[in-house]
Structure 1
């Protein structure tokens, strides 16, 4: 279901980006971009009991609070949407949304948008007081390029009609905020361990010796390497390579050849007489060990890696997803050019050929075609 919804959001994003140049007013932005997005979330923009335009809430006759749209659930507004013209979004625009959000106790989600960027707000600090900062931001310009992260997709999944629960949105947002903060701290600490972090690990590991400057300096790079090794092992374990101690995460631009050992031997083509070479095995092994790192963080893509396999024909070595023809990722030939490797990727705009001596040169095409196949075939 999430893959189907992801495809729907991406399709909408591509249309929205195309229309954005013609949405020259706030009204046009609402008509061409915002209302279609509301419909993507499953709400009926033509139902006056579900989507109410120009929704009002007032503390008094003098101070009126309104938003461009309010989405109702059970007869009460639960989502408030404030719209601005494409490209005119700024922090100064949050006032009207915040005024309505704070005035209506049933509203638990505020959305500020210019039709392309959607900022999602809730009340993680004080109840019924909208936060100053969004807990999620969806940029349709990025989504149109099929860059829809797991966090953003999860946020959209949770605000769809039939799924959105006003009582849970605050706790979900708090969890995302805390999670993001901890990830940022851990990423920084593990990439460049500071003295405090190193001292903590030395104590937790019961390392003997006085915590001198020399000891701290000695252990800092070791801790950094340990963190990288741990991350590599966890990623590899999820795709069936837990016992492969020879595999390491390869820095971008410095890809090394992996040993010519495949987790599962390629299927021979019908008719026999086909011998899979060490180079072909190396290519398959590279795909199976490199893809987990290229898609790290995308749970949907992770769970489908088991469907990547290969078949060896007399004239070509094919790596595919689920089905050889429909799900082809690439064709590979050995010794067909001055370089060691020759690949053909069946991209939408036509076949893309890569001739190289460095397997790392296929990373971008490999990631793109794998994402495309999962989106097409589930």
Structure 2
């Protein structure tokens, strides 16, 4: 079984047993050890995976981290585990901080079996960063996440390359976070920059508010246009029997698949019994594909969790609460027609 299939199988196991994985040991044996094995490490070989790794650090004697991963005989990755529902805040990883400085390890991994946070020393040499440079969510991941994760496979492991790329990944993550803030609610500084290029005269409060609203709407339109273009390209590729001459450029990690398009079209067809189908819009994200009423993320009709080829879920809403239902494919959505129509009725009533 190849790497991607192993991760997909592990995701299915997580979703099947999540409710009974209550302790740290359960997370280790059911999720973390199979995860390390999927990366190519022999979890039963203490020369590769050292459990309960001990190292005296200053006045701290006999402290342990859960695992030390060895590559070419050298301790390279330190792993600390928490329960599935455990907090992965960096303040709960004191052993990782101390051991990172006391060993030759260049990578630290903090995990609860579901979320895997990878750290290095990109800010200060031999001092573990406070923020991870890469986070992998086993419950919801994209192909681009798998590409990043594949670098940690034992056969591909190159610590110098990983550390070199860590700074770039971390910076990209920070930039994306700031852009999301600006897109959701443009700051006064951003509004001033845009308005100063388009407006002659003083930037009064009224002018700034006008431009702030226009910027928010324009950003939404740009995102929708990008989705529409991806949808059109996907449909064009399906209609065209000839393969493309050139590969598509690397995306931002959001990949709208045909199965998501099919699911969206089915939901739109069902809901068209109650509302104009043009009001039903798809907005794709890295973790899921949302189906919205009036392109408003506060009016979510459903979510398509179709990223995994082996475990797909339809997310249905009551108020703000989402409940997931297992589906084998888009056509299973028809079984939830009443719930979807009920959700549209609920949203329409709330909008009056």
Into which bin does the TM-score normalised by the smaller protein fall?
0.5 to 0.7
What is the Cα deviation at residue 122 of structure 1? Answer: 1.8
Shift of 1:148: 1.8
Which position in structure 2 is the counterpart of 1:170? 163
CA distance in 1, matches of 2:274, 2:157: 49
**Higher-Rg member (1/2):** 1
Quickly say closer, same or farther: Cα 1:17–1:164, change in 2 above 3 A: same
**Residue aligning to 1:182:** 175
Asked if 2 retains the 8 angstrom alpha-carbon contact of 1:341 and 1:357, the reply is no
Q: Output the CA distance in 2 between the equivalents of 1:331 and 1:240.
A: 13
Contact 1:20–1:33 (CA under 8 A) maintained in structure 2: no
1:9: which partner in 2? 7
Secondary structure (helix, strand or coil) at the match of 1:187 reads helix
Question: Contact between 1:65 and 1:99, CA under 8 Å: does it hold in 2?
Answer: no
> In 1, are the aligned partners of 2:71 and 2:154 still within 8 Å (CA)?
no
In structure 2, what is the Cα distance between the partners aligned to 1:8 and 1:33?
A: 12
Partner of 2:295: none
Secondary structure, aligned partner of 1:162: helix
Equivalent residue number for residue 127 of structure 1: 125
**2:321 corresponding residue in structure 1:** none
Residues 1:220 and 1:368: Cα distance change in structure 2 (over 3 Å): closer
- Distance (whole Å) between structure 2 residues aligned to residue 11 and residue 192 of structure 1: 39
Distance 2:177 2:137 in 1: 21
CA-based RMSD of the aligned residues comes to: 4.3
TM-score normalised to structure 1 length: 0.59
Q: Does 1:158 align with 2:158?
A: no
Inter-CA distance 89–185: structure 2 relative to 1 (3 Å threshold): closer
Matched, 1:213 2:205: yes
SS of 2:177's partner is helix
1:40-96 deviation line (CA, Å, top 9, x unaligned): 222111233221223233356863453221111122111111234444445453111
Q: Tell me, in whole angstroms, the C-alpha distance in 2 between the residues paired with 1:213 and 1:85.
A: 50
Q: How many residue pairs get matched?
A: 282
1:41–1:159 contact (8 Å) kept in structure 2 = yes
Q: Is the 8 A contact 2:68 2:75 kept in 1?
A: yes
Contact 1:17 1:116 in 2 (8 A): no
Q: Aligned partners of 1:214, 1:78: CA distance in 2, in Å?
A: 57
In 2, distance between residues paired with 1:87 and 1:19?
Answer: 13
What are structure 1's unaligned runs of at least 5 residues? 242-261, 268-295, 309-318, 321-328, 333-339, 344-353
Is the counterpart of residue 194 in structure 1 residue 187 in structure 2?
yes
Q: For residues 59 and 188 of structure 2, what CA distance do their matches in structure 1 show? A: 59
- What is the CA–CA distance in structure 1 between the aligned matches of 2:68 and 2:238, rounded to whole Å? 57
TM-score when scaled to structure 2?
Answer: 0.63
* Counterpart-to-counterpart distance in 2, 1:263 and 1:30: 45
Unaligned runs of 5+ in 2: 241-250, 283-290, 292-300, 313-327, 330-352
d(CA) in 2 for partners of 1:263, 1:221 = 34
CA contact (8 A) 1:57 1:66 kept: yes
Residue aligned with 2:155, SS = coil
